[in-house]
Chain A
Amino acid sequence: MGNLFVKKPKVTDVDKAILSLKTQRRKLGLYQQQLEAVIEAEKQAARDLIKEKRKERALLALKKKKAQEDLLKQVDAWVLNVEQQLADIELASKQRAVFESLRSGTEAIKAIQSEINLDDVQKLMDDSAEAKAYQDEINAILGEKLSAEDEEEILAEFETLESQIAIQDMPEVPTTVPTPDVVEETLDLPEVPKKAPVAANAEVDDAEIASKRKVLEEPLPA
């Protein structure tokens, strides 16, 4: 029924020491107030006695006041000591807290690192490089395969297509405005010889030239 385990903060000896010091500080504070009150009273008494011309008694009052003042100075020094020690304890406990966190941080890093073996990492990197190299090889081979075998076929197909298109283009010319096209065709002719280098091409070009000349002769008489 509910939480039997009430997690109160643990009270350590350090805490008890702090409690003692703080109690002491408070009690000394009260004592200081007391002394200050007595000092003030004696001062006033001395004044009154001087007014009454009772020199002896006045001097006595002043002496008492002086004694109390010395006592007060001493108490002030004690209070400073207590405050200093409280500050030191505070500082020491904060230092310890910092040290603890740094230590647990270091332990955490060590634990994580211990899970990773350096040799394993090296092997992993090597495997990875191997796999990549293999992949590159495959790519190269695939790429080569395409260019070596098919490139010739592609070229041949390309030239066939080109000649087809050229032939197609010729008949079309008469249907459209003759003059500009004729000019264009004459422009075409000079180009054809450029493809002369390969023997096969040269034959094709001759055929082209022949066919083109034939066609040219037709529109002109018209």
Chain B
Amino acid sequence: MQTLGNFKLPPFFNYPPYFTLQPVRDTREKQVQLWKELILDYCKTQKISVIGLEEEFPLFSNPAIERSLTHEAREAFLAALVSEGRAEWLDKGHRKCLILWHRIQDWADILLNFVKDNGLEDSVMTVEEIRSGPESRGTDLQGVDRIILMRALKLLEHKGKLAIFKGTSADDEGIKFSR
């Protein structure tokens, strides 16, 4: 099995047809399904949260068989993820896509568990600390994409679980967790 870095690629990655957008509906559905899963898996293990359609994305081409996904194909697969709720377009031109290998609600739950596990109720943390501090080492929160983190935090703020605030202008954004 080929690998991309330390990620094991599934067998279909080596079959040229899979890199061409299939016209027949049934085969197209199967193809889309496989690519959707592959994209989510890959992004989860590599902790990638944003895919730029016009950029070089290692997953979208296989030099061994000299095939890569066309722009149309990429857009099709990502659009499928968007309609499933596992991704979001960051711009109208569909050039950048936010990959939600955890849904925002899942991230919110992860955050709540993080607060509980570290006894952070009623205390203050900076947003950076959540991403890169000692408490998040080894968890999914380590190095989490800022956009996704802010989305999850806003969701929790809306539910009253925390408050986002800023001190002086020099400060990081802070989070106060409720008790």
- A residues adjacent to B (C-beta < 8 A): 6-11, 15-20, 22-23, 26
Contact = CB atoms under 8 A, between A and B. Distances in A.
A167 to B, nearest CB: 94
Nearest to A7: B160
B165 A6 contact: no
A178 B98 CA distance: 120
Given A9-B179, A15-B174, A22 B125 contact: yes
Given A6-B158, A22-B124, A26-B129, A15 B168 contact: no
Nearest 6 A/B pairs, CB to CB: A19-B174, A9-B178, A16-B167, A18-B124, A8-B163, A6-B160
B128 interface: yes
Contact of B165 (A7, A11, A17, A23): A11
Given A7-B178, A8-B162, A26-B129, 10 more contacts: A8-B163, A9-B162, A15-B174, A15-B176, A16-B174, A17-B167, A22-B124, A22-B125, A22-B172, A23-B171
A183 B170 CA distance: 123
A23 B170 contact: yes
Chain B interface residue bracket vs A: 20 to 34
Instruction: State the main secondary structure of chain B at its contact with A.
Output: mixed
A7 B160 CA distance: 5
B177 interface: yes
A17 B174 CA distance: 11
Contacts of B171: 16, 19-20, 23
Given A11-B165, A15-B174, A20-B167, A6 B124 contact: no
Contact of B160 (A8, A15, A17): A8
Contacts of B174: 15-16, 18-19, 22-23
Contacts of B179: 9
Contacts of B166: 19
Contacts of A7: 160, 178
Interface of B: 122-126, 128-129, 157-160, 162-163, 165-168, 170-172, 174, 176-179
A9 B161 CA distance: 7
Contact of B126 (A9, A10, A23): A23
Contact of A8 (B126, B157, B168): B157
Given A7-B160, A19-B171, A26 B178 contact: no
Contacts of B125: 22
A20 B168 contact: yes
A26 B162 contact: no
A20 to B, nearest CB: 5
A123 B40 CA distance: 79
Nearest to A6: B160
Contact of B163 (A9, A18, A20): A9
6 contacts: A9-B163, A9-B177, A15-B165, A20-B170, A22-B126, A23-B171
Q: Which of A6, A17, A18, A22 has the most CB of B within 10 A?
A: A22
Nearest to B172: A23
Contacts of B178: 7-9
A6 B172 contact: no
